[in-house]
Amino acid sequence: MTHPLRISGSAISGLLAAALFGAALVAPLPAAADEMKTFDMELKDGVITPQKLEVEAGTTFKIIVRNTGTTAAEFESLRLRKEKVVGPGVTSFVVIRRLSPGTYKFYDEFHMDMESANGVIIAK
Amino acid sequence: MTTQILFIVWRESVEALLVIGILNAWITHNAAYSAGRRYLWGGVLAGLAVAVVLAYGLLEASAVMSGESLEYFQTALVLAAAGLIVQMVFWMRKHGRQLKRELQHGVESAAQTGRWWTVTVLAAIAVAREGSETVVFLYGMFAAGPGVSTTTVALASAAGFALALLTYAVLQLGGRVLSWRLFFSVTEALLLLLACALVTTGVGNLASLGLIPYMEPVWDTSFLIDDMSRIGGIIASLTGYRAMPDPATVLVWVVYWGGVALLFRLGRSRGKVSEAAPATAASQ
């Protein structure tokens, strides 16, 4: 008796390898940065500035995340499906696309015991 | 500060130790699987190496790491890991039934070797995913300078890791103390839940990358369990729970658990067939 799962074993491994290499080779996408609204956000050892961003619902925007602290930070929001680790002194970014109106919480997970490490994005 | 370090290290390592612990307990249970141990721990080592490389990239803020390619890479990893876990669980189910027969025939089929590579990849992904974040986090803590005592960081992170190791130890003990049927059922459920969490995260990433749209939540259960709280976050990362799931997330759950139920059903009817006709099954 041949089990379908067994046949698919090598096929899955092959696909997996292809996916890994593919993903590793994808160059950073030249996100249409010109048209995109950009916000600056500073993470500093558990202090997020600003803690409230107001954006227009349905637009795509970019948040430049600068870690100016001495410890690592992680910009995280389950509702935004974002998880970005930012080492000390490192600047990175997240692109958020077409939010429906609402309030989206986020925090610096590596400092989430601090009140100042929490923020909201309000899409109107 | 100390609690935060302890918590982060525990949280980041517990998922990988869950996967490794369950696989190791399964391997330990059956003498016929002992060859698999090498593959498992090889995978752990490979995962650590990848974690360090990823962490280096994150700290150096290389262009590749700050762009969205990392997100594509992580998405590929979680989806692959989810597939491998489900495959592994059902292979073990089927194999557990056939094992006695195969042992009697003294055969270790070539297909088995291929299967062990799955274990390697699975362990490697589990370690690499969370490991890189732990490395960056700890690096930041140790490098933080006079504000943070190195001893505190070292002690707190060791305690966090020890707590996670406890998970591993409990799993090994459970594999010996509990009845195998019970232990297997529990660990199988844990792995299937974890795979659900991985698929949910993976599909969430697709929304984050703009490949599928963000949608309105279908319901809100954050008054019961808030997935943005500490406990809620752990539940979310181990089961795929979301307090405010959008239609895509709900669809993922339906398709995933529907598929799992179907595989269970298929496995059961096949099991009956092979028990009824052992001669055919043994001649494969």
Assign B98 a pLDDT band (cuts: 50, 70, 90).
low
Phi, psi angles (nearest 5°) of residue B202? -60, -45
**CA atoms of B260 and A5, how far apart (whole Å):** 13
- pLDDT for position B247: 94
For A85, which DSSP code? Answer: E
State whether A93 and B75 contact (CB < 8 Å): no
Assign B269 a pLDDT band (cuts: 50, 70, 90).
confident
Torsion of the alpha carbons at B56, B58, B63 and B65, rounded to the nearest 10: 110
Q: Element (H or E) spanning A81, and its range?
A: none
Q: Could you read off the pLDDT tens digit of each residue along chain A, which spans 124 residues?
A: 444 444 344 544 554 555 545 444 444 444 444 578 999 999 999 999 999 999 999 899 999 999 999 999 999 999 899 999 999 999 999 999 888 898 999 999 999 889 999 999 999 9
Nearest to B72 among A2, A23, A86 (CB): A23
Q: With 90 as the cut, is the pLDDT of residue B57 above it?
A: no
- pLDDT for position B188: 95
- pLDDT for position B102: 59
- pLDDT for position B272: 62
Side-chain-facing half-sphere of A103: CA atoms under 13 Å: 6
Q: Is A27 exposed, middle or buried (0-12, 13-18, 19+ CB in 10 A)?
A: exposed
Task: Decide: B261 and B267 in contact? Cβ < 8 Å.
Answer: no
Strands A37-44 and A47-49: antiparallel
Residue in chain B closest to A113 (alpha carbons) equals B4
- pLDDT for position B116: 85
State whether B69 and A24 contact (CB < 8 Å): yes
Q: With 80 as the cut, is the pLDDT of residue B157 above it?
A: yes
**In percent, how much of chain B has pLDDT > 70?**
86
Residue B213 has which token pair? 């749209």
The residues, any chain, with a CB within 8 Å of residue B55's CB and separated by 6 or more, are B131, B132, B133, B135, B136, B139
**CA atoms of B177 and B89, how far apart (whole Å):** 21
Edge to edge, what strands does the sheet with A52-55 contain? A52-55, A118-123, A102-108, A73-77, A82-86
Section B207-213 average pLDDT: 89
Nearest to A5 among B65, B66, B90 (CB): B90
Residues 98-117 on A with a CB inside 8 Å of B are 98-100, 102, 105, 107, 109-113
Section B150-160 average pLDDT: 91
pLDDT digits (tens, 9 = 90+) for B221-245: 999 999 999 899 999 999 999 999 9
**CA atoms of B29 and B34, how far apart (whole Å):** 9
User: Of the ranges A50-59, B55-64, B209-218, which one carries the lowest mean pLDDT score?
Assistant: B55-64
Specify the amino acid at residue B33. Answer: Y
Spell out which residues of chain B touch residue A81, defining contact as CB-CB under 8 Å: 201, 204-205, 207-208
Q: With 90 as the cut, is the pLDDT of residue B27 above it?
A: no
- pLDDT for position B59: 86
**Is the minimum CB–CB distance between B244 and chain A shorter than 8 Å?**
yes
Task: Decide: B164 and B126 in contact? Cβ < 8 Å.
Answer: no
Section B254-261 average pLDDT: 97
Nearest to A100 among B76, B208, B216 (CB): B216
Strands A118-123 and A82-86: unpaired
- pLDDT for position B31: 74
**CA atoms of B152 and B271, how far apart (whole Å):** 55
State whether A110 and B145 contact (CB < 8 Å): no
- The pTM score is 0.84
Q: What is the overall mean pLDDT for chain B?
A: 86
Section B91-118 average pLDDT: 66
Helix, strand counts (H, E) of chain A: 1, 9
Cβ atoms within 10 Å, residue B179 = 8
